[in-house]
Structures are given as C-alpha cells and as structure tokens.
Amino acid sequence: MTAAETRTEQRRTDRDPGRGPTRRNFLQLAAGATAGTVITRYASDIAHALERTTAGDMEVVWLQGQSCSGCTISVLQGQYPTLEETLREFRLDVTFHPTIMPEQGDAAIDAMSAAPDVLIVEGSVPTEIPSAATVGRTADGGSKSVYDWVQELAPESEYVIGLGNCASFGGWPAAENKERLYDLGSNVTGAKGLQFEQQDQPGVLGPDFTSGVGLPVINLGGCPPHPDYLLLTIATVLNGHVPELDEYNRPKPFYEPLVHDNCPLRGYFDRGEFAEKPGGEGCLIKQGCAGPYTHCDDQSRLWNDGTSVCLNVGAPCIGCMEPGFWDRFQPFDAEVERQSFAGPITPEQAGWIGLAGAGIGIGAHVARKLTGYGSFENDEDSIGSGESAETDGKERSE
C-alpha cells in the first residue's frame, strides 16, 4: 500500500460513524428549524468537524470555474459568531482556493491536495471552450483547464460538492446561445454542471459518477446558495453521515420546501389579489414570481443573519435555486405560465378560479389542483378542513 493509499484508508477509518466524540447529521436537524437555530445549538459539534481540516486531518480543495465568485462571497459573509474563530481557520486551511488563499502562482498550485477529502467546485465547467476557465499550467507550460482539474481530482475525492447553480447545473454561463454564435452549441462555451446540464444529465462527470464514499456530486443549488447550506453539509459529511438527496442530488432538508407554501404574501394569492408592480400590495405572481416552482427553505431560514429574504422586501422570487436558472424563468418580470390539461392557465387565473371555487365550498387549493396548477404541501389540510380561500388567505397574511 502506497503512502497516499494509507492516508486515504486512515481518513476513512477516522470517519467511521462508530468513532469520535460527536456524530451528528446536521442536515436532518436543519429540517423545519427556525433561522440559525441548528448552527447556534450545535456550534461546538460543527466546530469539531471543521477543526479536523484545520488540524490537517482532512483536506479541502475549492476550485472556481466560470464564476462571479458570488458563492464564495456568500459563504465568507455568513455570520456565525459562535464559530467565528473556527471558520476563519477553516477558510485559511483550505489547501486551495483561488480567491482567498494567501499563496499565489506555483506555490498555490503546489499547496493543492492531489486527493482531497472534499472537493468543492464553484462555477460551471466549459466543455466546448475549455480555455474559458483555467488554473495553473500543464507539464508542457500551457494553461490547465478547470475541466482537466475536475476530471483529475473528482475521482480521488471522498466527497464532491457543486456549490451554486453554475457548478450544479451550468447556471448563467449555460444560458441558451439563442443566436447560435460562433457555430457553437446550446451555450457559447459549452458550460455544464458537474453531473447535470440544466435540468438534464449528463454533466461533466457523467450520471454514473460517484465519489470515494459512493455518493454522487452533492449539489447546493442557488445563485448564490445560503451559507448555511455549505457549512451544515460539510459538517455532516465530515462527521461521517450520508445526506439524503433529491432527484437533482440536492440535500432534501434544504430543497424540499416550496417557496410558495411559506411565502409571506400567500394570503394575497389565495384571495386572488395581485400586485401591479414590484413592491406593490398583493401577490407578486404577475410580476414574474417563480415561487410556485422553486424549492428551498429560504423563507424560514432567511438571509443576512436571519433578517430577511427577497419576498419580504417586495422582490419576486426569480427561481435562482432551481436547475435551469436562468433561462427557465426568463424574462424575470413576466408572469410564469404553466401548461395543464385545461390548457395554458396562468397563476393569476388559477388564483381567481380558486377564489370562485371557495364560493361553492371546495376551497382555493382544491380548485387550483383540479385545474392542474401545482401541488402544494397544505392541499390535504385544506380539503379536510373545508376552509374557504378567503379565510385561509386572511390567516396566512396576518
């Protein structure tokens, strides 16, 4: 057994769920929790997991492809006072991060682990024009593409995380090449996510890729994702737990809730009251809100140290957590339509149908469901209770 193989085997032994003082699945704890409570309550356990990287027991490589660095900024600005020192050391001890590491040039490349425990990729990977994203040099002195780095490091990594929509699904660099510029494909550089291209497979690594622990790429979608998502995911996997993933390989506790179900403006929707402009009074569906089609827990987790989120300040949801962003919900200021067996029915029409249905006692949720518009978590409750849309809406808006 080589030295590298011995080191890898030791890491796997260290991650044995039967060993160590704390073994918590923070993703399960996060489900349904209010903003910040999981991180606050289990700060010492999370710190223990991250300290394994600062002590040199675990190695993290963070690559950036076609990226605006927004995901890095999101993580750096995450506020966790009880974890401040640990996070500062963690960020400094990542063996490679092109934005924040102190080393530069050849010294930075030399510091990169060749077999990281955790590989984090931020930004999409260009496949048609690999030179659109490069890091360092090849043996012959040419620029080394991020595509080559991913192909080299991912199979050697115990966990691979796609941070943000670009790394997960292609994101904005994968926006449709509508003019078919330069005789290239669906997007100019052939930008893809690690295992997905928008809503479809395959991505750069292919649909059958699994990391050293047998997991696919863990996708933390978002433009950018909430800083909690990365922190809690890393703490979970470093403590030896396997996250439960959805069809897009996203951790379910973060990406099962529907924005629409927890929207502070939901009462307006149920009463069929729609804003005529962004920030106006009423539901923002007519202003392009993609809340009925977007899955994330931001409405309860909140941003900026648990203070607010887009819809709380009059801005419609633009679906940035979903695969296919951003072509999928373009243009952002136009009402999103959905096909159903009843033909094209807009959310506004569905809301009015629901309101009319309430008059004959079937409730807004039932009417919308019958017309093919969505499936919301509280449908069964509404059916069972027989509450009208107007009553339900008033309760939600209070």
pLDDT tens string 192-220: 999 999 888 889 999 999 999 999 999 99
pTM: 0.78
Instruction: Provide the pLDDT for residue 22.
Output: 55
pLDDT of 46 strictly over 70: yes
CA distance 121 to 72: 10
Helix (H) or strand (E) holding 381: helix 379-385
Is 387 within 8 Å of 361 (Cβ atoms)?
Answer: no
Residue pair 351/274 in contact (Cβ under 8 Å)? The answer is: yes
Highest-pLDDT range among 91-95, 110-114, 230-234: 230-234
Spatial CB neighbours of 256, under 8 Å, sequence gap ≥ 6 = 31, 246, 295, 297
Predicted confidence (pLDDT) at residue 39 exceeds the cutoff of 90: no
Q: Predicted confidence band at 367 (pLDDT cuts at 50, 70, 90)?
A: very low
Give residue 38's pLDDT band: very low, low, confident or very high (50, 70, 90): confident
pLDDT of residue 337: 62
Q: Give me the mean pLDDT over the 116-141 stretch.
A: 90
Q: Residues 267-285: what's their mean pLDDT?
A: 89
**Residue type for 332, please?**
F
Sequence-distant (≥ 6) Cβ neighbours of residue 151 within 8 angstroms:
204, 205
Q: What is the pLDDT of residue 340?
A: 32
- pLDDT value, residue 3: 39
Does pLDDT of 73 surpass 80?
A: yes
Q: Which of 217-231, 345-359, 364-378 has the lowest mean pLDDT?
A: 364-378
Share above pLDDT 90 across residues of the chain, in percent, rounded to a whole number: 28
Are both 3-254 and 259-397 of the same fold? Answer: no
Beta strand 118-122 pairing with 60-64: parallel
Rounded distance between C-alpha atoms, residue 122 and residue 68, angstroms: 9
Number of residues written out for the chain: 398
- Nearest-CA neighbor of 166 among 321, 305, 334? 321
Residues 6+ apart with CB under 8 A from 12: 158, 212, 213
Q: What totals of helices (H) and strands (E) does the chain contain, helices first? A: 17, 8
Distance CA 259, CA 313 (A): 15
Average pLDDT in the 67-77 region? 86
Mean pLDDT across 41-62: 84
Model confidence at 160: pLDDT above 50: yes
Distance CA 309, CA 198 (A): 25
Helix (H) or strand (E) holding 385: helix 379-385
Q: Where are the domains of the chain?
A: 3-254, 259-397
- Name which of 103-107, 279-283, 316-320 the model is least confident about: 103-107
Q: pLDDT at position 4, please?
A: 42
In 3D space, the residue among 104, 91, 96 whose CA is nearest the CA of residue 149 turns out to be: 96
What average pLDDT does the segment 282-303 reach? Answer: 89
At residue 222, the pLDDT reads: 93
DSSP assignment, residue 242? P
Q: How far apart are CA 346 and CA 7, in angstroms?
A: 57
The topology (CATH level 3) of 259-397 is: Cytochrome-c3 Hydrogenase; Chain A, domain 2 (4.10.480)
Task: Classify domain 3-254 at the CATH class level.
Answer: alpha beta
